[in-house]
Amino acid sequence: MADRHPSEPTPDEQGPGGVSSDPLAYSATPGTAPRGVVGAAHSAAMPGTSALRSTTPDAARDGRGSDDTPKDACGVFGVWAPGEDVAKLAYYGLFALQHRGQEAAGIAVSDFSNVIVYKDLGLVAQVFDESTLASLTGSLAVGHTRYSTTGSCTYENAQPSFKQIRGGRGSVALGHNGNLTNTSELSREVAENGLGDDMGATTDSDLITTMLAANPDLSLEEAAVGVLPRLRGAFSLVFMDENTLYATRDRNGVRPLVLGRLERGWVVASETAALDIVGASFVREVEPGEVLAIDADGIRSAHFAAPEPKGCIFEYVYLARPDTTISGRGVHATRVEIGRRLAHEAPVEADLVIPTPESGTPAAIGYAQGSGIPYGQGLVKNAYVGRTFIQPSQTIRQLGIRLKLNPLRDVIRGKRLIVVDDSIVRGNTQRALVRMLRESGALEVHVRIASPPVRWPCFYGIDFATRAELVASGLDVEGVRRSIGADTLAYISLDGLIAASEQPRSRLCTACFTGDYPIALPEEARLGKHLLEDLVRAPDRTPAVDVSGAASGDPGPVSVPPADPVAHEGLETPPERAGARAGYLNTLPSWGAVGALDRP
């Protein structure tokens, strides 16, 4: 039997998934942030408590075992539906988005009087059970499933992030998909204005929440249109106060966010697949640079920045579910078309086309269609083992490869195989896979990849590691082929990938393939997963720039647009900033109704 941390419940005290079945099980641990349920506006939901009993070992809570990869993917969900069980709608929405993050999950609900947040480390089904969801009553909710962005994998960094508005005028709960590139600048601003707290969170998402809650003289709508233009990088946000649900995307729309309609309300989610699972009909995408407000008066829309679309092309390759639609193009159809194009770009004689399940399956189907070579299943996936790309440590990744795939030896033996996968990042999966197929009797193993070589780290919300960890950053195609042990290796061309997506090249971010970053990166090496923790330990030290990107994650020389002057106002005092904010609000378009969507 594995050792149990003293703060963990015994097996008899645990509910399904090893999580405490009693959402009101507390321990009085002084000096710790509350676990599970965190504060409520006006009156605490469960007063007189200091901390929920931990159900997560110290290693996970401290982030030990996680690597130094700077970025990731998350899933966000929001619902405004009085009369509906919004907590369960959020739960099932997050369940549909579980593939976007597997380290932590949380839901915030409001009954128009109080905002309550319940969150913890673990999968959605581990964090929530029936009794927990029954205690989360309200009319609107936001949910989040996380793979650690800025900040370690700790309970304090789980989302939704929660802040009470200064002056006691309500509260804000927020979920964030993406990653900011001016986190260091915002952290200094928050500290200089005395806006920080002692809750222990070290994420860019927490900074955004703090800034939204900073001014008691502004409504949350006014605060949003003042704060959002100052954020740099990628952000798709859902946030709420006691009465209103908000949804917004950065001006480049790097991460997806969609609006859906229920019979008695509205839903926003990272992917259309989450709308499907809760019975919501797709309305439209939230536009880049747009913020929506949803309350009893209907839907209002405003733009805080002119849209400059640069959607992440890797959503089509891997991140999004195949049953999701992005910018009018189905992800599954895109992946099948990638396979067809790859068959024409990189033909090879073989007996069977097999996928690396599940992410390589649509492209393998397309490759078989394009080549005329039979398609077959050569690998069986254990559906209950997490994605190796998403799991946080290198050791777990390598173990996960062996756990999640098993060869069908009778199918493989004596065959020349074409193995289709979505991408090669570090090369661990393909290396182990090729060896396993050869040991199972394959005569030849030809690897085909449904994306171009990943040579550059992502700073906008994907776990792509540093350049030193990207196998294609230091090797050409032949070098990668030798590294993984394949007979031949070929990638889809960038032109072929873009054509399969049916999106204009000008509206896509391809930085991980080209190094052409569409959003300016800071000149100093103020980037990386543990940036805010490093600033706490050494606030006056600026890390040296590593032009190779090998240590810090800095991409080295890149092509970026000029910095936006709004981010460098040089306003030193709160009155100056307040004046600038008021002036900026006057320049923004007024909130307006969204046509026929005005009432649920």
Tell me if 93 sits within 8 A of 77, measured CB to CB.
yes
CA gap 331, 339 in Å, rounded: 13
Choice among 74, 153, 312, 509 that is catalytic: 74
Give the list of residues 6+ apart from residue 440 with CB closer than 8 angstroms, or none.
407, 409, 412, 413
- What angle, 0 to 180 degrees and rounded to 10, lies between the N-to-C axes of helices 331-345 and 361-371? 40
Tell me if 300 sits within 8 A of 594, measured CB to CB.
yes
* The Cα angle at residue 520 between residues 519 and 522, in degrees rounded to 5: 140
Cβ neighbours of 412 (radius 10 Å)? 23
CA gap 593, 598 in Å, rounded: 6
Alpha carbon 553 to chain centroid distance? Answer: 18
Smallest Cα–Cα separation from 591: which of 258, 296, 221, 261?
221
CA gap 533, 459 in Å, rounded: 18
Is 74 labeled as catalytic in the residue annotation? Answer: yes
Give the list of residues 6+ apart from residue 384 with CB closer than 8 angstroms, or none.
none
Q: Look at the block and give the residue holding tokens 């009797």.
A: 441
Say how many CA atoms lie within 13 Å of 396 toward its Cβ.
Answer: 14
* The Cα angle at residue 445 between residues 441 and 451, in degrees rounded to 5: 145
- Helix, strand, coil in percent for the chain, rounding step 5: 30, 20, 45
Rg (CA), the chain: 24
What are the DSSP calls for 106-136, one per residue?
Answer: EEEEE-SS-EEEEEEES-HHHH--HHHHHH-
CA gap 430, 421 in Å, rounded: 8
Smallest Cα–Cα separation from 433: which of 472, 491, 388?
388
Tell me if 361 sits within 8 A of 353, measured CB to CB.
no
Greatest CA span in the chain, whole angstroms? Answer: 76
Q: Which sequence positions are flagged as catalytic? A: 74
